[in-house]
Amino acid sequence: MGVRDLVALPKAHLHVHLESAVRASTLAELAARYGVVVPGVPEGGFSGFREFADRGSVVRSCLREPEDFARVAREFCADAAADGVRYAEVTFSAGSHGERLGSGDEPLAAVVAGLAEGSAEHDVVTRLILDHSRRRSVGRLAAMVEWASRFPEVVAVGVAGDEAFPLAPFASVLAQARAAGLRMVHHAGEMAGPESVVEAVRVGLADRIGHGIRADASVVAELRERGVAVEVCPSSNVVLGLVAGLGVHPLPGLMAAGVAVSVNLDVPDVVGTSLSGEFGRLRARWGWSDEVVAGLSVAAVEASFAPVGVKERVRGEIAGWLASG
């Protein structure tokens, strides 16, 4: 059984939505300022994805001015660093905010500025992933890809949301984004079956899969052979009612099958814990040793789009954590 301090474990966080990482105090302040009533997280979990998505829309409506976006980005860096996160790839719905506010890439520019300031102050390296709803237009994704070209901090784009909507309409834009040097990270296998994971890899050119917990044996083999990592978010899956409980979560099976997996929060405000807390939950549930925990942290670093020097540094820090105590 592991004994080392999980906050002190150097970590990479690859699947976390900025809008779901807003501090409760900040959200309350912004909601009061703009006259928005934000629903709480149901004690027994959400009744379905729609209820969860509707609450997320209300939260996003509390972000209106450039300083709102910059503030939550700065605070994200402070909170991540305090939890031992050394590197984070933050998912941000730039197209949704730009369209909602009629301000183009202004919210993205504000987030980039906030992350830069917060990263410098708190010694954490951050990059951005821009996500696009499957239910929205191809044109909006194309605009977002064009915005990404203006900001080197954006390392990837991805298609998310209701997996009943196919990726095929976005294939040409995604191919153009790949040709421009962007990586691909799509949500798949969260609500829909293994076919959505296959589509993300073959049609969406995925470098990583967000969630992927519905992958069956044949899909697992393809992920392993192609070296496509999976961003697993156990507590999120449970709270959203997608998995009955941690005891039946597919994570151990994916690990045993040799798939590269990382542990992530997805929606911190909903799961109600930090990344260290999530590792603690999983360590307690499955009796993980510190070696297993360190291995998962290294896997996240390896699956990241971090610069080589950052990867080397964080790997060394993880080894130092494991050598301590």
Write the CB contacts of 148 (distance below 8 Å, at least 6 apart in sequence).
130, 154, 157, 177, 180, 182
**CATH number of 11-20+84-101+127-323, picked from 3.60.21.10, 1.10.10.10, 3.20.20.140, 3.40.50.2300:** 3.20.20.140
Cβ within 8 Å of residue 114, ≥6 positions away: 69, 70, 71, 72, 73, 74, 77
Give the model's pLDDT for residue 44.
77
Query: What is the pTM (predicted TM-score) of this model?
Result: 0.96
Q: What is the pLDDT of residue 50?
A: 84
Question: For position 47, what pLDDT does the model report?
Answer: 78
- Whole-number pLDDT of residue 1: 59
Closest CA to 296 of 283, 305, 306, 309: 283
Dist. CA 13–CA 275, nearest whole Å: 8
Residue 242: how many other CB atoms lie within 10 Å: 19
Based on the residue annotation, tell me whether 190 is a catalytic residue of this protein.
yes
Q: Do residues 165 and 157 touch, judged by C-beta distance below 8 A?
A: no
Reference 160, options 105, 233, 61, 65; nearest CA is 233
Catalytic entry in 163, 190, 231, 317:
190
Residue-by-residue pLDDT tens, the chain, 325 positions: 578 999 999 999 999 999 999 999 999 999 999 999 999 888 877 877 888 888 999 999 999 999 999 999 999 999 999 999 999 999 999 999 999 999 999 999 999 999 999 999 999 999 999 999 999 999 999 999 999 999 999 999 999 999 999 999 999 999 999 999 999 999 999 999 999 999 999 999 999 999 999 999 999 999 999 999 999 999 999 999 999 999 999 999 999 999 999 999 999 999 999 999 999 999 999 999 999 999 999 999 999 999 999 999 999 999 999 999 7
Q: How far apart are CA 167 and CA 24, in angstroms?
A: 34
Q: What residues form DSSP beta bridges with 131?
A: 158
For residue 16, which phi and psi values (nearest 5 degrees)?
Answer: -150, 125
